[in-house]
Chains A and B, each alone.
Chain A
Amino acid sequence: MTTPLLCIRDLHARVADREVLKGINLEVPAGEVHAIMGPNGSGKSSLSHVLAGKPGYTVTRGSVTFKGQDLLALPPEERAREGVFLGFQYPVEIPGVNNAYLLRAALNAARRHRNEPEVDAFDFLTLVKARMQLMRMDESFLSRGVNEGFSGGEKKRNEILQMLVLEPSLAVLDETDSGLDIDALKVVAAGIQTLRSPERAIVLVTHYQRLLDHVTPDRVHVLARGRIVRSGGPELALELERRGYDWLLDDAA
């Protein structure tokens, strides 16, 4: 049996005095898409944040192994360079730093980390423009400030664009589908499908089934009260859509 790309064992984490993760166990092999679903406050975003290394969370027990190495030992920027990408639920606006600069700086940081030469301006623009076309984004966006004045949908598209440019081994997308209209949802879903490959894994954190209509997951996990209380195939998401989460909450108590 091959080692999974991501392996989470008995993960406990706190933010301030509150325990938000209470023993997560999860394995995500390369090539698979896993959906993490669950009610509000169940710990979905916390799990995403802990994987990306967001300050403020303290891991009190357990381990996270990524490509066989201890992910929790790495600072956030090194996790990113190793190939972990977090798609933010609420992408921040950074007026004064344009999208092109951020994308290129991020791409080159990862390339330097892999001892690859930095990408030159021409190749970079060729790559980004192709990805932007896929995401149906206007080229003028490159010279705009990062997420500055973007609508909610544009911000989410931008997250997926960054993901497509950086080509991470593991993408954790935190409620990337929230706030999207149907057309935008399809564009975002197409972007996610583009990244799908035997070498990569994708973790979709979501409330709803609707993204999963467009990106069929290999596995679905239900997170409640800081634990995974049920795992199954894509049919589990459909069942949740029908029955809600209440029937699972007793298991989590």
Chain B
Amino acid sequence: MTQPDTPVSFSERLQRDYDLARAQGARPIVADSLRETSLAKALAAGLPALRDDDWRYARLRPVTAAQWLPAATADEASVIEPLRAALPDALPGFGRVVFVDGHYCASLSVADQSFSGGQLRHAASGAANTRNGEATNALQATTAERFAWLNDLFATDGAQLQVTGQLQLELLFISTITDTAAASYPRLQVQVCADSQLTLVERHLGSGGPTALTNVSVQVHLQSAARLQHYRVQAMARDAVFMDTLLATLDSRANYALTFINQGAATARSSLRLRLQGDNTQLSVHGVSLTDERCNSDTVIQLEHVGRNSRSEQVLRGVANGRSSIGLASRVDVAASAGGADSRQSLKGLIGAAGAEVNLRPQLEINTDEVKASHGATTGSLDDNTLFYLLSRGIDPETARKLLEWAFIGDVMSHIDIAGLRRQVELTTVSQLGNAAALEALL
């Protein structure tokens, strides 16, 4: 697919691509009514503007430059088979389901699709695919999630996971798009039923390229007393364009522990909307963004305390090297109905090089008296005294710096409770920080 010669407006392009996708005969996996609604919302909202606070630190040009039409199914022999050796080691006790370029990949998946603790279906198999029913409908749409609407329009497949017992599952979303202009639309809907428990590892890996967009949409609904431990790792290739929207709703007594590691892509944006709908819910978010070269990683979290006696804790860290930039924003809204809420927020940024940038934006809006809330944000470079301490022990300056960058993200890394995953993430991280040989002894 080539780019048109004359520039077209966002709405013209969206309408055109939408029509093209339909004309190409791709069987839509999202219900017509939802797609029409999403198209209308997307057209009305347009693309984000930099003056929009939620998008101020995102890099949008690569998104508009990328192709939006979805990629076709990758060739089994030439593309998928060679991937087998490159996949991360399996995590003991975890089923694995793989999607390649947004399409379910049976040959790389090593999990049966029906588990003792739940069921996974993929939309292209014929399962109806809407949004998560009432739970996410309760979320009034905001333009922060506009890229999820694009996912509604163009997704070619999607994982639907319903957990009715206890389950451990890994979902790998791999992009293989390199030399063709096409987009990948990973899509995941998770429902953890009452009193059920899920440990979910969601990883986004693979190549990209300046013309290949990966646009993820994840919806999570935790019913009453459901528990979800959710690890999200974005380790795309260094030239990838990655957009991501996560919407989660927690019913009463639900417990959601989210840990995310953003360590890849040239341009990455995650919009997270987390709603503590029920009473006595608990949420923790531990997240790290690591960037270097000229990469940009922007994360915007909107957290809503709605039910009574809800607790939330957020620990967000960003380490920017090279001439890269990181945005970490978190807005906490405590509704008038959310008496007894307890909300803690800690945002810290480390600027590892003179040309790097970290923008932290903690926000707190409280509409009730009966609340405990704290927030803090600090950005700076490495502490000279600490650095000198390491030098005075004979550690060379480069290793000392990397060691301190490593230490800086330690309170997030320590939340990865799955030994195999932690090892894999740590190895990728030390290699990204550089000076891997010196740091590997840490692990």
Chain A residues at the B interface, C-beta cutoff of 8 Å = 52-56, 75-77, 79-81, 85-86, 88, 91-92, 94-98, 101-102, 104-106, 109-110, 113, 145, 162, 166
Among B394, B403, B410, point to the contact of A109 (Cβ < 8 A). Answer: B394
- B395/A92 in contact, CB under 8 A: no
Q: Give chain B interface residues in 383-429, CB to chain A under 8 Å.
A: 383-386, 388-397, 399-400, 403-404, 406-411, 413
**Which residues of A lie under 8 Å from residue B438 when comparing CB positions?**
105
- B442/A113 in contact, CB under 8 A: no
- B442/A101 in contact, CB under 8 A: yes
Interface string of B430-443 (1 = CB under 8 A from A): 00000000100110
**Which residues of B lie under 8 Å from residue A76 when comparing CB positions?**
388, 391-392
- A95/B407 in contact, CB under 8 A: yes
Going nearest first, the 8 A-B pairs with the smallest beta carbon separation are: A96-B410, A96-B407, A109-B394, A80-B394, A106-B393, A76-B391, A81-B394, A77-B391
- A102/B407 in contact, CB under 8 A: no
CB distance from B276 to the nearest CB of A (A): 29
| Cα–Cα, bound, A88→B410 (Å) | 24
**Which residues of B lie under 8 Å from residue A81 when comparing CB positions?**
394
- B411/A77 in contact, CB under 8 A: no
Q: List 24 contacting pairs A-B, 8 Å CB cutoff, sorted by A.
A: A53-B392, A54-B388, A55-B388, A76-B391, A77-B394, A77-B395, A77-B396, A92-B386, A94-B386, A94-B404, A95-B410, A95-B411, A96-B410, A97-B403, A97-B406, A102-B390, A102-B395, A105-B395, A109-B393, A109-B394, A109-B395, A113-B394, A145-B407, A162-B393
| Cα–Cα, bound, A96→B388 (Å) | 17
Interface size class of B (residues with CB under 8 A): 20 to 34
**Which residues of A lie under 8 Å from residue B413 when comparing CB positions?**
96
Quick one: closest B residue to A105, CB to CB?
A: B395
| Cα–Cα, bound, A98→B413 (Å) | 14
Known contacts A88-B389, A88-B392, A96-B410; 15 further A-B pairs (Cβ under 8 A): A52-B388, A52-B392, A77-B391, A77-B394, A79-B392, A80-B392, A80-B393, A80-B394, A86-B392, A91-B389, A94-B407, A97-B403, A97-B404, A102-B393, A162-B393
**Which residues of A lie under 8 Å from residue B393 when comparing CB positions?**
80, 102, 105-106, 109, 162, 166
Identify the interface centre among B394, B395, B442: most chain A CB within 10 Å of its CB.
Answer: B394
| Cα–Cα, bound, A139→B384 (Å) | 30
| Cα–Cα, bound, A98→B400 (Å) | 13
| Cα–Cα, bound, A170→B132 (Å) | 68
- A96/B408 in contact, CB under 8 A: yes
| Cα–Cα, bound, A54→B391 (Å) | 9
CB distance from B100 to the nearest CB of A (A): 36
**Which residues of B lie under 8 Å from residue A97 when comparing CB positions?**
403-404, 406-407, 410, 442
Quick one: closest B residue to A172, CB to CB?
A: B392
**Which residues of A lie under 8 Å from residue B396 when comparing CB positions?**
77, 109
| Cα–Cα, bound, A113→B393 (Å) | 13
Identify the interface centre among A77, A86, A162: most chain B CB within 10 Å of its CB.
Answer: A77
| Cα–Cα, bound, A98→B403 (Å) | 11
| Cα–Cα, bound, A138→B395 (Å) | 25
Quick one: closest A residue to B400, CB to CB?
A: A77
**Which residues of A lie under 8 Å from residue B383 when comparing CB positions?**
92
**Which residues of A lie under 8 Å from residue B394 when comparing CB positions?**
77, 80-81, 105-106, 109-110, 113, 166
**Which residues of B lie under 8 Å from residue A52 when comparing CB positions?**
388, 392
Interface string of B128-150 (1 = CB under 8 A from A): 00000000000000000000000
| Cα–Cα, bound, A98→B391 (Å) | 16
Interface string of B241-260 (1 = CB under 8 A from A): 00000000000000000000
Among A55, A88, A96, A104, point to the contact of B411 (Cβ < 8 A). Answer: A96
CB distance from B357 to the nearest CB of A (A): 23
Quick one: closest B residue to A90, CB to CB?
A: B385
**Which residues of A lie under 8 Å from residue B441 when comparing CB positions?**
101, 104-105
**Which residues of B lie under 8 Å from residue A145 when comparing CB positions?**
407, 410
Among A56, A80, A104, point to the contact of B391 (Cβ < 8 A). Answer: A80
Quick one: closest B residue to A102, CB to CB?
A: B393
**Which residues of A lie under 8 Å from residue B390 when comparing CB positions?**
94, 102
- A106/B395 in contact, CB under 8 A: yes
Identify the interface centre among B385, B390, B408, B441: most chain A CB within 10 Å of its CB.
Answer: B390
Quick one: closest A residue to B386, CB to CB?
A: A92
CB distance from B316 to the nearest CB of A (A): 16
| Cα–Cα, bound, A94→B409 (Å) | 12
| Cα–Cα, bound, A16→B410 (Å) | 34
| Cα–Cα, bound, A180→B410 (Å) | 30
**Which residues of A lie under 8 Å from residue B406 when comparing CB positions?**
96-97
- B391/A75 in contact, CB under 8 A: yes
| Cα–Cα, bound, A56→B171 (Å) | 51
**Which residues of B lie under 8 Å from residue A85 when comparing CB positions?**
392
